[in-house]
């Protein structure tokens, strides 16, 4: 009970960060009281007994509002609970509230929410990253133990890097997407945002495992953390283009090269590789994700649930006005782009070609990982930037995903680690990618780096 109250006090203290859209104060305190009673009664306790969790506002939780930070879902209350959320509840976790995010998870700065921008936990003049910015800030500012986010092209790892925490995107299909409001179904993946690798591993283990409600899941069963047997000396693959890229901040490059030198001094092997597909990844990602978004978001019409325009007079105006008034600028932009690339006269030129490029990226990623334990790369090209700095330049914002989209295009697990800071004290993330369904190795390698470097 006291622990939950301390987090509630923290949330109140940091209300200006706008990390939470809703805090379930009474419910969280009641759940804490029930858990205290379990101790008194000598009952068995779950693996997450008393762990306070925040969930991104695109995860369903029965009897609670979920809006994807969009006006289009104004007043909507979920009728069921997402599988990932339910599995945490089954292990005695306490859900404290829902966190702000970019509308429909579309953004890299958390400035696209219908409910205002989230502010960085380290410096409130800066963006927290997106789209899971609210979850990242909630963890970084100690407003909860851990949080859940979703990652479509870096939406967990990028804000984790900007706020100095651990953020994991599991293998596609590792965690059920049932109850995750869709943006791009073949990319979206739920994952944890935590202070430690150990916590990320525990949450992933609990949330993983087959779910009959999600046909896109792999069927390999729950993650067994204890089975990893990573070798002592590792081989890391490093993309040359990620070091020489002109978009990289010099401090990102210098810190990353220092990390490589330290790893080599410890007997680890660094293998450099050329990846000419780097410049194709962001365009491929946006062609495919906007296409899927235009399909997924067609269900929001003002007819069945959510926002309906007061100015509508017939069926056509209900659809048109509800979507015009309900969706924000970035969501409209991506729906229009996705509709364009799926149109009959553009399908072959854009969507089909992007699918082919995606397959090439996936195959090349697998080849690289055949001869190494992990791909090592900066999470972002810069530290967190100022609020409003890139909001009027969609292309510059899209390029914030430059180093994170590979894992989503290929389906690999990837993690961002807070290994160092720049001269201004802002966190800089380092990203690791491993083979599909090798989260155990990813966690082991990540812990080695954390122990060695932090």
Prior bond to 131 cis, omega within 30?
A: yes
444 phi-psi bin (left φ>0, alpha ψ -120 to 50, beta other): alpha
Closest C-alpha among 94, 49, 83 to residue 179: 83
Catalytic: which of 70, 132, 155, 322? 155
CB 69 within 8 A of CB 102: yes
Concerning whether 446 is annotated as a catalytic residue, the answer is: no
Catalytic: which of 31, 56, 119, 390? 56
Concerning whether 421 is annotated as a catalytic residue, the answer is: no
CA atoms within 13 A on the CB side of 126: 19
Concerning whether 356 is annotated as a catalytic residue, the answer is: no
Catalytic: which of 131, 132, 294, 416? 131
Q: Which residue numbers are catalytic?
A: 56, 131, 155
């Amino acid at each position: 009970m006291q622990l939950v109250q301390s987090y509630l006090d923290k949330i109140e203290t940091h209300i200006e960060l706008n990390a939470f859209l809703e805090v379930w104060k009474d419910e969280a305190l009641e759940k804490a009281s029930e858990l205290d009673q379990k101790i008194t009664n000598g009952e068995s306790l779950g693996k997450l007994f008393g762990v306070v969790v925040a969930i991104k506002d695109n995860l369903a939780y029965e009897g609670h509002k979920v809006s994807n930070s969009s006006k289009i879902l104004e007043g909507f209350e979920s009728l069921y609970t997402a599988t990932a959320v339910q599995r945490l509840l089954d292990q005695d976790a306490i859900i404290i509230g829902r966190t702000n995010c970019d509308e429909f998870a579309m953004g890299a700065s958390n400035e696209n929410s219908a409910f205002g921008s989230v502010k960085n936990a380290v410096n409130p003049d800066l963006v927290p990253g997106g789209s899971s910015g609210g979850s990242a800030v909630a963890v970084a500012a100690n407003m909860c133990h851990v949080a859940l986010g979703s990652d479509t092209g870096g939406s967990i790892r990028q804000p984790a890097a900007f706020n100095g925490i651990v953020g994991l995107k599991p293998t596609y299909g590792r965690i059920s997407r049932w109850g995750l409001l869709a943006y791009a179904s073949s990319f979206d993946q739920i994952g944890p945002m935590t202070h430690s690798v150990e916590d990320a591993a525990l949450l992933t283990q609990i949330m993983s495992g087959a779910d009959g409600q999600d046909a896109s899941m792999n069927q390999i069963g729950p993650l067994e953390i204890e089975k990893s047997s990573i070798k002592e000396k590792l081989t890391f693959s490093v993309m040359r283009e990620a070091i020489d890229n002109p978009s990289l901040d010099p401090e990102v490059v210098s810190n990353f090269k220092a990390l490589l030198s330290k790893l080599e001094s410890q007997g680890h092997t660094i293998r450099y590789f050329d990846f000419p597909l780097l410049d194709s990844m962001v365009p491929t990602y946006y062609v495919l994700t906007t296409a899927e978004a235009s399909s997924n978001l067609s269900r929001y019409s003002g007819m069945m649930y959510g926002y309906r325009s007061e100015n509508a007079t017939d069926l056509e105006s209900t659809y048109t006005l509800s979507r015009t008034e309900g969706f924000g600028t970035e969501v409209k932009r991506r729906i229009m782009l996705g509709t364009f690339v799926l149109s009959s006269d553009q399908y072959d030129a854009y969507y089909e070609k992007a699918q082919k490029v995606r397959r090439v990226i996936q195959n090349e990623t697998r080849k690289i990982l055949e001869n190494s334990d992990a791909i090592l790369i900066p999470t972002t090209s810069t530290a967190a930037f100022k609020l409003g700095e890139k909001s009027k330049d969609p292309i510059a914002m899209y390029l914030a995903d430059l180093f994170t989209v590979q894992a989503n295009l290929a389906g690999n697990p990837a993690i961002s680690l807070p290994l160092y800071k720049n001269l201004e004290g802002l966190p800089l993330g380092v990203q690791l990618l491993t083979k599909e369904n090798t989260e155990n190795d990813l966690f082991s390698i990540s812990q080695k780096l954390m122990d060695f470097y932090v």
